[in-house]
Structure 1
Amino acid sequence: MSIGNSPEDDRPSIGRALQQARIATGLTVEEVSSSTRVRIPIVHAIEEDDFSRCGGDVYARGHIRMLARAVRLDPDPLIAEFDAEHGGRPAPTPAAPLFEAERIRSEPRRPNWTAAMVAAIVAVVGFVGFTLFSGEDEGSGSGSANVAEGSTPDKTTPKPTATKPADPKPAPSESAIAAAPRDKVTVRLSATEGKSWISAKDHNGRLLFDGLLAQGDSKTFQDKERVDLVLGDAGAIDLFVNGKKVDDQFESGQVERLSYTKGDPEVG
């Protein structure tokens, strides 16, 4: 039996390891907060092993990953230690197998040949009647044919209706907001890889949206000067700014705080 603490007992906690690495690299909490966009109170709390201010385990993992990279630490062991202390990552819900749908599907119905025959006979009779009626109409020789209004198609160009058709839901692509006005900043978010909490504010700090964006949903924001974003899971989001897709390689679970103006993404 050995006396004393094992090497694992001497290993610093997650917060202590991040703090020691930050001090060793000569960085202040303010500098780490500026480079990672993690607020100063949250940085202090994490260094004290308090993850309650992160907003949940998903965001806590993202904060740990960003802080570790800022102070030149390998984030994977810290994430593994966090998972071990907090019950591990939640297991993804498996999709229902395709054969389950096949198994509950009802037996295919046999084609109703009787109905098909009746429909064909009605179509033939209708065509013959229309042909005979058209022939009598042409043989009348008069310019004013006795045809009921609307029985023949109007050959004049139809006038456009005043009702504006509903705009189709745009697909998330580089052309999705290609017509964005140049005098404003237009930002579009599409949750293509999963759901993510997002927050959007205008240049005055007014909250435009704060909530969960489900997979497959999209949100578009506009302002005359600037749009500020917070992405809870940046890896799940496709981002379009002023009609162009932003190709940043965000990782799953990564928290991002972003700001865009009218000149972005060229100057962003």
Structure 2
Amino acid sequence: MSIGNSPEDERPFEDVSEEALPSIGRALQQARIAAGLTVDDVSTATRVRIAIVHAIEADDFAPCGGDVYARGHIRTLAKHVHLDPAPLLAQYDAERGRPAPTPAAPLFEAERIRPERRGPNWTAAMVAAIVAVIGFVGFTLFKGDSEDGSKTQVAEGAKPSTGKTASPSADAPKPTDPKPDPSESAIAAAPRDKVTVQVSAVDGRSWISAKDHNGRLLFDGLLKQGQSKTFQDSSKINLVLGDAGAIQLYVNGKKIEDDFQPGAVERLTYTKGDPQVG
């Protein structure tokens, strides 16, 4: 017979203290692995960044940015890996010496949700009244202008209509022609201390681009037939004509007589001393 401890007595004692409990990060990691999920899977599902998931599983809560965010991440991760978040949150608070949150008193809740009694909104009423007055005045002025226009037409000899559309008579004034492009004399009034360039699409449409002496873009687009653009700068205008044959140029009040070919692309520069192609 041997004297001493039996084999059963030599078994290590089971540690049932709080230190034997897995840490928060370890518990979350074990639950994730048991669920067959990777850190990427958890991050994608919970929208918690991968770096923060790794930090929490290593019990490093600093990247969370504070206790409020750490508790929220713990709760989110625990639910996703099928753990009860309450024990983990209690363990987190105990480790940091934070008291457990207490529910609000029923009286406080009742007073908080009690609707606040408000008086009449005089500001909204005043705004509505002002809008109504402005609308009435505008309608009155519009109606007065319409009646004055009708009286003027009758006084000039036009027959008032009686429910039928009056056909245009020979005496009715013809519609005015569209305003013609500025003539050479009008363009000649351009100031001499600046360079003025007018581009007119007289024989078709053309893409044009215009820049000032600093290279700032003044226009870049399609000029349809009959349209004109006028550009002015203190010293220089740079032009690019996509179809120079369709364009007529006036520079500092003078017509440019260059024989541009249809479909030709021209790059031109004009200054205060032109017309001379730079």
**Bigger relative contact order, structure 1 or 2 (CA pairs below 8 A, ≥6 apart):** 1
- Higher Cα radius of gyration: 2
Q: Do both share a fold (TM > 0.5)?
A: no
Pick the TM interval, shorter chain. Answer: 0.3 to 0.5
Q: TM-score, normalised by structure 2?
A: 0.35
TM-score by length of 1: 0.36
